[in-house]
Each structure stands twice: as C-alpha cells, then as structure tokens.
C-alpha cells in the first residue's frame, strides 16, 4: 500500500507468534494476512480478542486493522494481534493508555515453552524406569 503515511503501527508478540499491526481510521474492517478477520479467526473467542481493545476504549468500528501474523497457533496469534492493536491505539492517542492498562491489554504475556534438557524426554519428564 503506497499510502502508508496514514497508518499507525503496533507490534504484538505471544509465545512464538509475532503480529505486525497497522491501523487507520475507517469502518472497522479487519484484514489478517490478506484475509478477512472472521475468516482467518473462525472461533468467537479469537474474534473477541481482536475487538477487545476497541471495546475497552469505546472506539469499535472507527478503525480498519491490517495485520501480518507469523508463528504460533491460532490463539497465540489472536492475542499477538490484540497486543499490536492496543499498542497502535496508544500511539494514536496517549490518553487511551490508562484504560488499556487497566484491562492489562498492554502487558506482553511472557510465558514461553520451556526448552528440552539433555537426558530427558521433554523439558522435565525423565526416561521411563525399567527394573530389568
């Protein structure tokens, strides 16, 4: 898109999902990876994740959202997009930050998968005990 100067950017991460979100004033259209938001996230919980930042600051239907998401699963992708939207809204209007913080929409969920250790079958599970 050549008219990139009227977009506001926000980056969101969750587990291994990374979402690069751009918002601009519009009619409330969600486009994720060049697909409609309802098509990309079929679950109602994932769709509500997308709308939550706008509902909290009472700006639903006022912005168009364009996101590129990679990595992770559908739930972590939707939460990464949610964080990206919240961060972009803070760039649009600094006065929205306290309201978004109150609902902890600006907090990055830092929980990650624990790495596998040598001599074990997973992060913590050991090998099966054999008497003989």
Domain limits, the chain: 4-102
Residue 94 DSSP label: G
* Amino acid 1: pLDDT: 40
* Amino acid 5: pLDDT: 67
* Amino acid 132: pLDDT: 85
Structurally, at CATH architecture level, domain 4-102 sits in 2-Layer Sandwich (3.30)
pLDDT in tens, 74-123: 999 999 999 999 999 999 989 999 999 999 999 999 999 999 999 999 99
- pLDDT over 70 (residue 26): yes
Q: What number of other Cβ atoms are within 10 A of residue 25's Cβ? A: 11
Instruction: Read off the tokens for 72.
Output: 């992770």
Instruction: Read off the tokens for 120.
Output: 């074990």
Neighbouring residues of 52: CB distance < 8 A, sequence distance ≥ 6: 82, 103, 105
The pTM is what?
0.87
On the CB side of 64, CA atoms within 13 Å amount to 10
* Amino acid 54: pLDDT: 92
Write down the mean pLDDT value for the chain: 91
Contacts of the segment 99-103: beta carbons below 8 A, 24+ positions apart: 99/56, 99/57, 100/53, 100/56, 100/57, 102/56, 103/52, 103/56
* Amino acid 123: pLDDT: 95
């Amino acid at each position: 898109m050549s008219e990139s100067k009227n977009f506001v950017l926000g980056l969101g991460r969750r587990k291994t999902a990374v979402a690069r979100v751009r918002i601009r004033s519009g009619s409330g259209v969600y486009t994720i990876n060049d697909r409609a938001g309802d098509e990309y996230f079929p679950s109602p919980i994932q769709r509500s994740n997308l709308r939550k930042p706008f509902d909290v600051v009472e700006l639903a239907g006022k912005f168009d959202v364009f996101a590129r998401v990679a990595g992770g699963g559908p739930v972590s992708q939707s939460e990464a997009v949610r964080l990206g939207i919240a961060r972009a809204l803070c760039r649009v209007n600094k006065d929205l930050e306290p309201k978004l913080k109150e609902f902890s929409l600006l907090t990055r969920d830092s929980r990650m998968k624990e790495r596998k250790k040598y001599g074990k079958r997973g992060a913590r599970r050991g090998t099966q005990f054999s008497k003989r």
